[in-house]
Amino acid sequence: MIVCPNCNHPNPDGAVQCEACYTPLPATISCPNCSATVQADATFCGQCGYNLRNLAETTASATVAPDIPLPMPDLVTPDPLVQPEPVGMSNSNSVSGNFNQPEPAPVPPTAVASGTSGASTPPPSTTPPPTIATKAVSPPPAAAPTSKTQLQQQTARLIHVQTDRTIELSPSLSVIHIGKPNDRIPPDVDVSGFPSSEIVSRIHADIRAEGDAYYIEDVGSSNGTYINNLPLLPGNRHRLRPGDRISLGKGDLVTFLFQFS
């Protein structure tokens, strides 16, 4: 038990803030030698005198990941550019120079005198053929401007694994409280009606919406919060992605899947 320095409320081991007045609690750990509860910043155990500095150095070295250089891909030589073939010169001599010149009008034959009647033969008609009018093709009308595309907003939801029940997360809330009814912070996601809800604290975890991203953090629950079967340390937060498995408490008894709809 961790006693709150502000209101003397007894809190479970591992809590980071008081369940009664929400005052930050001093972090504690268990002595690896005698299992006594000591503060995390202590140098020696008050029960057996075990040196806790070695434990802190071992934990810090285990959590720091080594810098691993990323492999660089091999450079690929691009294919040479294809040189275009020169365009052949056209034989201008083969084209007649009279291509654009109009044809001369036919000359009517002279009148041929008749031997008996003296009548002349009328010349042939030189009226040009009628011109075929071409219909002007009008350009197609310009397309009307389309209306602005409305953005489709994704809605986050939690699927309870044990009962297959779906809980929609309100997009108007920036902080979504998960827990059971209490007189301090009413839960937005009430798990009191689910099986094995007795392992869930009244104020268990929060989901925060920041833009298009959702983050979950444990707010000092008694039995902890697990993401994909890994414990979520109090004070840390995890960015949720579709398919993440959220377990409230130990034993994977109250489990939700995070999804977008």
- Residue 185: pLDDT band (50, 70, 90) is very high
Mean pLDDT is highest, among 33-42, 44-53, 91-100, 231-240, for: 231-240
* Ramachandran category for residue 41: left, alpha or beta (phi over 0 → left; psi -120 to 50 → alpha): alpha
Largest Cα–Cα distance in the chain? 158
The yes-or-no verdict on residue 194 having pLDDT over 80 is yes
User: Looking at this protein, which amino acid is placed at residue 259?
Assistant: Q
pLDDT at 193: 92
- Residue 24: pLDDT band (50, 70, 90) is confident
Q: Contact 237/208 with Cβ under 8 angstroms? A: yes
From 248, 233, 236, 238, select the one nearest 215 (Cα to Cα): 238
DSSP-assigned letters across all residues of 224-249 = -EEETTEEE-TT-EEE--TT-EEEES
Q: pLDDT tens digit string along 79-112?
A: 666 666 666 554 444 444 444 555 566 655 554 4
Residue that the structure tokens 């008894």 belong to: 253
More confident residue, 261 or 256: 256
Q: Where does residue 142 rank: exposed (0-12), middle (13-18), buried (19+ CB within 10 A)?
A: exposed
Q: Lowest-confidence range among 4-8, 132-136, 190-194, 245-249?
A: 132-136
- Residue 143: pLDDT band (50, 70, 90) is low
Q: Lowest-confidence range among 57-61, 66-70, 94-98, 189-193?
A: 94-98
What percent of the chain is predicted at pLDDT more than 90?
35
pLDDT at 153: 62
pLDDT at 16: 76
Q: Lowest-confidence range among 58-72, 148-162, 236-250?
A: 58-72
Q: How many Cβ atoms from other residues are within 10 Å of residue 110's Cβ?
A: 9
Task: Give the CATH fold of the 156-260 domain.
Answer: Tumour Suppressor Smad4 (2.60.200)
The yes-or-no verdict on residue 127 having pLDDT over 80 is no
Provide CATH 2.60.200.20 ranges for the chain: 156-260
pLDDT at 147: 45
pLDDT at 31: 79
More confident residue, 47 or 63: 47
Q: Lowest-confidence range among 14-18, 53-57, 114-118, 177-181?
A: 114-118
Residue 79 CA: distances (Å) to CA of 76, 82, 83: 9, 9, 12
More confident residue, 132 or 151: 132
pLDDT at 92: 45
pLDDT at 95: 43
Question: For all residues of the chain together, what is the average pLDDT?
Answer: 75
The yes-or-no verdict on residue 148 having pLDDT over 80 is no
User: Looking at this protein, which amino acid is placed at residue 25?
Assistant: L
